[in-house]
Amino acid sequence: MKLFDGIADCLAEREPAAKVAATRALVAAFARGGLDVDGDAPEPAAIGIPGRPERPLLVHPRDVPRRGLGSVEGRAAFLHAIAHIEFNAINLALDAAYRFRELPREFVADWLQVADDEARHFAMITARLRELGFAYGDFAAHDGLWEMAMKTAQCDRARMALVPRVLEARGLDVTPGMIARLRDVGDEASARILETILREEVAHVAAGSRWFHWCCERDGLAPGREFIRLVREVAGASVRPPFNREARLAAGFGVEELARLETLDQEAGVGGKG
């Protein structure tokens, strides 16, 4: 099997369990050297909507129901939102490996490993949902993550800045509070799953930092200045403090970069202000 054909097949797969299995099998085959990395592969197909099931129903973020964690249904709805993020994250990692094929082989290896982790995270969360009597698709969800993939499909530098270092990094900030809330209501099983996800997401954001810096060096740009520019122009409303400074520093953010991010929401043009 040729590598990029295999990735495209995983992206196109609609059934979640089959996507998880196909992704993990592809990554294992790549690690064994069992895939032909075709240097003469054609240009990637134009980005479209990846394979996904008919459910969940996708709605505007403001229309996703909010439920408290005090009930089983409320915790299930909360975990469903996390599962939907992880499902999208599988596709985001696969698309990075598929789309930006002019980058070194190490780039492909990194994002296939991320895809494998995200597939495992999705499986962990959906297994927990089943224990609570629910399934992926039982609640409405939104599609903001893939919208950012569409916006950055033409630029590897922008993709590395705005998906792992903005959208995924947001998870580093909010997940510790989620874990605490789950423990407050006695859901230790779900809290432990989120602890695993948080620990491994640091490495995913770090991969984004590493390749963003690589792209900036290639393009003759200062990473700190370019990151702030992209955030201001494309994703300002998605970046708001407080930040998990320890996790972000471990994931490749600089001290000055974080200080700059902490002031962005006060500036003109960010989040509709000014």
Torsion of CA 234, 149, 144, 211, to 10 degrees: -70
Burial class (CB in 10 A: 0-12, 13-18, 19+), 185: middle
The pTM of the full predicted model, rounded to 2 decimals, is: 0.92
42 occurs within a structural domain? no
Q: Tell me the pLDDT of the chain (274 aa) as tens digits.
A: 789 999 999 999 999 999 999 999 999 999 998 887 766 777 899 998 999 999 998 887 777 777 788 899 999 999 999 999 999 999 999 999 999 988 999 999 999 999 999 999 999 999 999 999 999 999 999 877 888 999 999 999 999 999 999 999 999 999 999 999 999 999 999 999 999 999 999 999 999 999 999 999 999 999 999 999 999 988 766 688 889 999 999 999 999 999 999 888 666 344 433 3
Q: Which domain holds residue 9?
A: 3-35+56-264
- Our count of domains for the chain comes to 1
Q: Which of 3, 265, 33, 37 has the alpha carbon at shortest distance from 115?
A: 3
8 occurs within a structural domain? yes
146 occurs within a structural domain? yes
228 occurs within a structural domain? yes
90 occurs within a structural domain? yes
271 occurs within a structural domain? no
- Give me the residues paired with residue 36 across strands: 2
CATH number of the domain where residue 186 is located: 1.20.1260.10
